[in-house]
Structure 1
Amino acid sequence: MTFEAEVAQRVAANETNLTLKKDAQNLMNSSIRAGYSYNFSWMGRPIIQYPQDVMAMQEIIWRVQPDLIIETGIAHGGSLIFSAAMLELNAACGGPADAKVLGLDIDIRAHNRQAIEVHPMSRRISMIEGSSTAPEVIEQVRQFASGRKSVLVCLDSNHTHAHVLAELEAYAPLATVGSYCVVFDTIVEDLPKEMYPNRPWGPGDNPKTAVHEYLKTHPEFEIDRAVDNKLMISVAPDGYLKRVR
């Protein structure tokens, strides 16, 4: 049996491993309470992601070979730097030479913008400041994506159901067949309500509920369960949406 076949066999087995699933959920609960995702950086910038999701994105970027990655939510810029670095590696290995990352945020703090703009990976990064659901911003993104052959979309801004659903309607169609629209922080649905006392989102109103609503009318996307079963520890369960047609 090949290594790849062994991996596939183990990943498939995880789906029915109730002990592993319970342990993983318990770890998610305790690690989120401890602010675990805030402990990491990518090439000097805070990335605010779980290492497992970073690894999943690396695998997807290598497999899809996007010439454009669209990201909503910039924060400190670590995710933009990560995506740009992966595109740089792809290019060094014969992938798209002019691949770009486009980041959107309603408020790009001046010190974060400066840190991103002076970073060695900045030549692959463009940013738009404004609401990701504003018609003028959506139009700018569509124009930026025009003519691109392989587009990957990542949604990680405001986590309310209504906002994420609006982002899905606006940007998921830009993901090309075989690529993904990745919706982060779907884990909110699976966490205790009291974990988000000062946030407008929580169980019943979050990215996962938006994903499930979107998929009711968009059969061109499917949840890639293999990613969930591989990671087990992830802030994006049900959030790795693969465009299949």
Structure 2
Amino acid sequence: MHPSEQFRLERQARLESYASDGAFQTLSRDWLQASMQRQYVYNFDWMGRPIIQYPQDMVAMQELVWRVRPDLIIETGIAHGGSLVLSASLLALLDMSDAIEAGTTLDPRASRRKVLGVDIDIRAHNRAAIEAHPMASRIAMIQGSAVAPEVVHEVRDFAKGYQRVLVCLDSMHTHDHVLGELNAYAPLVTPGSYCVVFDTFVEDMPPKFFADRPWDVGNNPKTAVHQWLADHPEFEIDAEMEQRLQVTVAPHGFLRRKG
């Protein structure tokens, strides 16, 4: 057996064992809760911009982008812009890979690959920092509610002509809002790509864990995902990604479009 295949099989067996390892799952969930109480998720930057994500989920996004090779990533929720910069930098790496393989010169300004961010309130200082960032040529932004009809229309119009689309939902985390986002943007995901729904972990935290937020157990992204999936068999939960990460804010949130 080739060493690479042996390594792949060993990894597969290890991940499958995690699915039945209740103690490890509990430990991972307890650490997520303890770290969230301590605002651990706010500790990181990506290329100089604050990014409100766990390192594990950043790695997961790198794996998905390399696997899918999208030419458009749509993100709801911008905050400081770190996630937009992460996505843009991953698209830049795809362009570099394509150029090396083709033996051509890379011109970032000529790249068609883009990140489109949507947020109801793009604060002026964050917009200025994003627009001044080296990755700015790959980033476009729309201000407005992600579920407002005019914004949905603008996003869909922007997405026309792109061949591979990946979507990340990370704005308002109430059931109704996320359900509206799924209805609006998941249809833009191309077969084999993903709609990643962040903060589904709210359902697994104690009630009132987010006392100052409108979402809670029973009213959050995971409840929206489960309701939406019941009517959308063209999508499935990528359980292996969750098993691999263990510590993630997106359990049941890595949704793969079949095909």
User: What is the TM-score when the length of structure 1 is the normalising length?
Assistant: 0.98
Q: Give the partner amino acid of 1:177.
A: P
Q: What is aligned with 1:116?
A: 130
* Alignment counterpart, residue 166 of structure 2, candidates 116, 134, 152: 152
* 1:136-193 per-position Cα deviation (integer Å, ceiling 9, x unaligned): 1101111111111100000000000000000000000000000000000000000012
Identity level (%): 57
2:56 to 52, 56, 67: 52
- Spell out, residue by residue over 1:179-214, the C-alpha distance to the aligned partner (whole angstroms, 9 max, x if none): 000000000000012311111100000000000000
Query: Does residue 218 in structure 1 map to residue 211 in structure 2?
Result: no
| Structure 2 residue aligned with 1:206 | 220
In the TM superposition, structure 1's runs of 4+ consecutive aligned residues that sit over 6 Å from their partners are none
Q: In structure 1, how many angstroms separate the alpha carbons of the residues matched to 2:220 and 2:148?
A: 20
CA distance in 1, matches of 2:207, 2:130: 34
Q: Which amino acid aligns with 2:43?
A: N
Distance in 2 between residues matched to 1:148 and 1:65, nearest whole Å: 12
CA displacement at 1:2 relative to structure 2:
2.6
Q: What's the counterpart of residue 102 of structure 2?
A: none
SS at match of 2:117: strand
175-184 or 96-105, which moves further after superposition?
96-105
Q: One-letter code of the match for 1:38?
A: Y
Deviations 1:81-138 (A, max 9, x none): 0000000001000079420000000000000000000000010000000010011110
Tell me what 1:15 maps to: 19
Give 5+ residue unaligned stretches, structure 2: 100-109
Q: 2:184 aligns with which of 170, 178, 181?
A: 170
Greater C-alpha Rg: 2
1:1-245 equivalences in 2 (<5 Å): 1-94=5-98, 97-245=111-259
RMSD over equivalenced CA pairs, Å: 1.1
Give, in whole Å, the separation in 1 of the partners of 2:214 and 2:226.
19
Q: Distance in 1 between matches of 2:146 and 2:111?
A: 27
Q: Which runs of 5+ in 1 are unaligned?
A: none
Q: 2-side partners of 1:39 and 1:150: how far apart?
A: 32
3-state DSSP class of the match of 1:187?
Answer: helix
Counterpart CA distance in 2 for 1:154 and 1:27 is 24
The one-letter code matched in structure 2 to 1:187 is F
Equivalenced residue count is 245
Separation of aligned partners in 1, 2:16 and 2:238: 12
